[in-house]
Structure 1
Amino acid sequence: MILVTGGTGFVGTYLLYELSKKETSIKSTYRKEKNKELTKNFFKLKDQNHPKLFNKIIWVKIDISEISSLDELYFGIKKIYHCAAFVSLAKRHKNLLIKTNVEGTSNIINYAIKHKIKKILFISSIASIGAEDEDGIINEDHSWDHKLNHTDYAFSKYNSELQVWRGTQEGVPAVIVNPGFIIGSHFWNRSSSSIFNRVNRGLKFYPTGKISLVSVEDVVKASIKLMNSEIKNERFILVSENLYYKEFLDLISKNLGKPLTKYPLTKSILYTIYFFDTILSFLRVKKRFMSKALISTFNNNQEFDGSKTKKFISFKYEKIDEKVKEICKDYINK
């Protein structure tokens, strides 16, 4: 039996759909009934045979950061796709990021060791990988640099990975995938797909840095192939293309028939926002959002090299311009 943690999330839902077409026995965790219904609706959108596929899944309502009922969760499990995570760049969510991402992953690994799980595939993020060389290209060999400013989300994913590597030292084979910014259809109000909503409402400003992009279908396809291979104890960056934010946002704007972005969010503008955000937080007017690490993220021109995957498995990335066109068509017809 296969276990998918976070099966109602963006990647988890797409993964469950693909697995349900091939596997006979799947178990998935979830936390909220409404999110499970959203996953069920996704199956309905994708396939006329959706009841048969969806009913293959055994749903377990659980918080992986709480260990009280994890033994029952692991009964009969041979392989795990660990997708469950909390995603936020807001400074105020630091404690929740640590609890969900780091403590949750630690619990998953502890029980994987206890139950002698055959293999784990962990969905991480490029945020957990280190700084670039002089040419600005980052690959799997770049290690975490403690001297740099990192978002709390990046810190949580890095420490989550440490838990996975700990598991490999104690006999649990693992593969880590590090996707870039994941794009896909149907999750317009959640996850990274909400960017299409934002552009549709009108977006005038754009960050000046670069963004590394990959489709959710590519993340799922690569993850399944890596899980089913003999590959173990490796990491793989999943990035199709690196574009400037303006290129990416304008690509969405053109396909949605919206005005292009006009004004750059320069570092000086972002630091001004950071200054007032800090003051308002100190005065308890609002909770803090901005951080120096986030400013660096928006202005960074680094690129991620996702070619290693193609050397290990038969795999080809979708082109981003074609994928954005397809997603925008889905958005218009939703």
Structure 2
Amino acid sequence: MNLLTGATGLVGAHLLAQLILNKEKTRALFRTENKKAQAISVIVKYDITLQEIENKVEWFQCDILDIPKLENAFKNISHVYHCAGFISNSPSDYKMMRKVNIEGTANVVNLSIDFKVKKLCHVSSIAALGKPLVGDKVTEETPMAEDQKPSAYEISKYGAEMEVWRASQEGVDVVIVNPGIILGDGFYDSGSGTLLAKLKSGLKFYPPKITGFVGVYDVSKIMIQLMKSPISNERYILVSENLSFKKVGNYFSDLYQKPAPKTRLKPWMLYIAWFFEILRSFFTSYKRQLTLEVIPSLFEDSFYSSEKIKKEFQYNFKTLEEYADEIYKRS
């Protein structure tokens, strides 16, 4: 049986739908009934009936930080898909992000070792990868430089990967995927879903940045292929295209008939916004999102190579237009 952490998140819900279509039995971890219902609303859009969900999914209410409950979730499990994680740019969330992403992953790893799980697939991020020399693309071999000044999120995802590699040293076959910005339907209140929500309503401002994008539909399919393959102890960048935020914004604006983003952000705008966020956070419970580490990255292009997964699996990613059309149809 499969174990799926983070089953009620963007990747987890779409992955669970693919596993059901593959007739695989899965124990899916969830924290609240509301999130579970949200995941089911995504799954049924794959033309999967509620009866099929009941037959193939064993819902298990559990937090990955709750070790006794998590231990019970690992009984009779052979394969683990670890999708649970915490995403935030807010400095006030740093401790929680480390706790969930690093300590939570350590819990999953420790129990995978104890229960002699055959294979573990971990969803990381391109944020955990290094930065190449100017003009080069980031590959799976690009090292994290000491002078990179990573954000809190990057630190937590890198730390989580270190825990997963530890599992590989303890006899568990592992694979890691590093997706770009993930586009997909159903979750618009957290992570990359907040970007998608803004794209659908129309962006006024856009950062002059190019980065990697990928659809959740490709991410979930590739994860299953990797788990069924004999490949182990490898990582794969999952990026369909390296695109500018302006191009992505323009396409979604046309699709949803919203005004296209016209104002190019400049560094001084964000530094002023950062200053006012500081003031606002002092006098209210507002969680600021901008940090001095994040602002420069919004003006640095990053290009990612998915040649490794394309070559080894002859995999053809969908394009932005195909992702956007699928999201539009499911909206």
Aligned-CA RMSD value:
1.7
Which residue does the alignment assign to 2:37? Answer: 37
**DSSP 3-state at the match of 1:3:** strand
Question: By how many angstroms is 1:283 displaced?
Answer: 5.4
Structure 2 residue 225 is the aligned partner of structure 1 residue 220: no
Q: Measured at CA, do residues 136 and 263 of structure 1 come closer, stay the same or move farther in structure 2, by a change above 3 Å? A: farther
Which residue does the alignment assign to 2:273? Answer: 273
In 2, the alpha carbon distance for the partners of 1:314 and 1:209 equals 29
In 2, the alpha carbon distance for the partners of 1:199 and 1:215 equals 15
Structure 2 residue 186 is the aligned partner of structure 1 residue 207: no
In 2, the alpha carbon distance for the partners of 1:240 and 1:108 equals 29
Question: By how many angstroms is 1:190 displaced?
Answer: 4.2
Identity %: 35
**DSSP 3-state at the match of 1:34:** helix
Deviates more, 1:76-85 or 1:302-311: 302-311
Show the 5 A alignment for 1:9-24.
9-24=9-24
Q: Is the 8 A contact 2:45 2:330 kept in 1?
A: no
Show the 5 A alignment for 1:2-151.
2-151=2-151
Per-residue Cα deviation, 1:105-145 (whole angstroms, up to 9, x for no partner) = 00000111111111100000000000122214111111122
Q: Measured at CA, do residues 85 and 241 of structure 1 come closer, stay the same or move farther in structure 2, by a change above 3 Å? A: same
In 1, the alpha carbon distance for the partners of 2:121 and 2:90 equals 27
Structure 2: give runs of 5+ residues left out of the alignment: none
**DSSP 3-state at the match of 2:29:** strand
Question: By how many angstroms is 1:293 displaced?
Answer: 2.2
Q: Measured at CA, do residues 284 and 193 of structure 1 come closer, stay the same or move farther in structure 2, by a change above 3 Å? A: closer
Q: Measured at CA, do residues 234 and 205 of structure 1 come closer, stay the same or move farther in structure 2, by a change above 3 Å? A: same
Q: Is the 8 A contact 1:211 1:242 kept in 2?
A: yes
In 2, the alpha carbon distance for the partners of 1:200 and 1:71 equals 41
Show the 5 A alignment for 1:247-266.
247-266=247-266
Per-residue Cα deviation, 1:275-303 (whole angstroms, up to 9, x for no partner) = 33234435567433211222123211111
Question: By how many angstroms is 1:22 displaced?
Answer: 1.9
Deviates more, 1:87-96 or 1:173-182: 87-96
Per-residue Cα deviation, 1:59-90 (whole angstroms, up to 9, x for no partner) = 11111112122221111001100001111122
Q: Measured at CA, do residues 50 and 90 of structure 1 come closer, stay the same or move farther in structure 2, by a change above 3 Å? A: same
Show the 5 A alignment for 1:166-205.
166-205=166-205
Which residue does the alignment assign to 1:156? Answer: 156
Structure 1: give runs of 5+ residues left out of the alignment: none
Per-residue Cα deviation, 1:226-265 (whole angstroms, up to 9, x for no partner) = 1110111010000010111111111111111111111111
Deviates more, 1:37-46 or 1:82-91: 37-46
Deviates more, 1:231-240 or 1:312-321: 312-321
- Counterpart AA for 1:327: I
- Counterpart AA for 1:97: M
- Counterpart AA for 2:227: M
In 2, the alpha carbon distance for the partners of 1:269 and 1:66 equals 42
Aligned residue pair count: 331
Q: Is the 8 A contact 2:64 2:107 kept in 1?
A: yes
**DSSP 3-state at the match of 1:236:** strand
In 2, the alpha carbon distance for the partners of 1:21 and 1:3 equals 16
